Amino acid sequence: MLWGMARKTANDDPLAPVTLAVGQEELLLDRAVQEVVAAAKAADADTDVRDLTPDQLQPGTLAELTSPSLFAERKVVVVRNAQDLSADTVKDVKAYLGSPAEEITLVLAHAGGAKGKGLLDAARKAGAREVACAKMTKPAERLGFVRAEFRTLGRSAAPEACQALVDAIGSDLRELASAVSQLCADVEGTIDAAVVGRYYTGRAEASSFEVADRAVEGRAAEALEALRWSLSTGVAPVLITSALAQGVRGIGKLLSARGGRPNDLARELGMPPWKIDRVRQQMRGWTQDGVAVALRAVAEADAGVKGGGDDPEYALEKAVVTIARAARSRRG
């Protein structure tokens, strides 16, 4: 029987006698449970599901729930926060792991830390199927999660769109998952960064461009104030470096372009005509050397924000001050 359990683990069968969902990411724990329940109901629509907290699973309760019944019904028994079970109940669960009952699927959701480690080890030793539900602390993990969500829903999203979604929404997996399903429901065809921008980054981009505009106009104090406000309202630092880069590049393009009407320049530089007028006003005081210095500062800030430095806020402040100083290079 135990060997069969291990073999099922290799095939990742949600109806393995025991599933161990390990970690502290609530969304993933819920999904691990839902997957088992859905598989059981697909096998038998009348499956009885018991979802229990540690205080509901007293010594003897598991034996009652798993004792053979006259009707041999299929059952799913879910135990939440299994690390908090009492010592006596843990003994019950360990005994059950040695001889799991037919037609019953046990799901143990466990935080995965040192607390209750004996139960975790026993379930692993018994060959339980394991589902990893660890918190996603790194941006790259969240990016992978968003990509996988789109794939699961059978949709394709541009890499920039996935990144923009993570930047706009942050670390809450439930919000990320719901944003992905919202986009898939509302948008036909490939989901690109522009679509994500329309839906989710309006506020963030507006305040990011506020920082960039003040910096390229040489107004350091106002740019720093806008920067602090943006960061305090949860705007992702990468959105701010992106806005700074666009602001400085726009000035660089216009400095090296020949004079001309805004419409002609707009076509040549790939900017809307209103932007040409705005960048022209911001250009006063800039030199090509100033642009080079500012672009270097943006690149350094970008590296600092993406993990090259310890303090993204400081990296951005330094870039803003350098850009504002470069904006006055012709006057200075």
Residues constituting the chain: 332
- Higher per-residue pLDDT: 172 or 21: 21
Q: Are 132 and 22 in contact (CB under 8 A)?
A: yes
Q: 48-52 and 75-79: which strand pairing? A: parallel
Q: Is 261 helix (H, G, I), strand (E, B) or coil?
A: coil
DSSP string, 97-114: HHSPPTTEEEEEEE--SS
Place of tokens 């541009």: 158
Query: Could you tell me the pLDDT band of residue 283, with boundaries at 50, 70 and 90?
Result: confident
- For 253, list phi and psi in degrees, rounded to 5: -60, -45
Q: What pTM value is reported for the model?
A: 0.58
Query: Could you tell me the pLDDT band of residue 71, with boundaries at 50, 70 and 90?
Result: low
Per-residue pLDDT, 208:
83
pLDDT digit string (tens) for 126-184? 999 999 999 988 888 999 999 999 999 999 899 888 988 887 777 788 888 988 998 89
Query: Encoding tokens for residue 184?
Result: 């898939």
Rounded CA separation 330/254 (Å): 16
Q: Is the pLDDT of residue 109 over 90?
A: yes
Mean pLDDT confidence for 188-192: 87
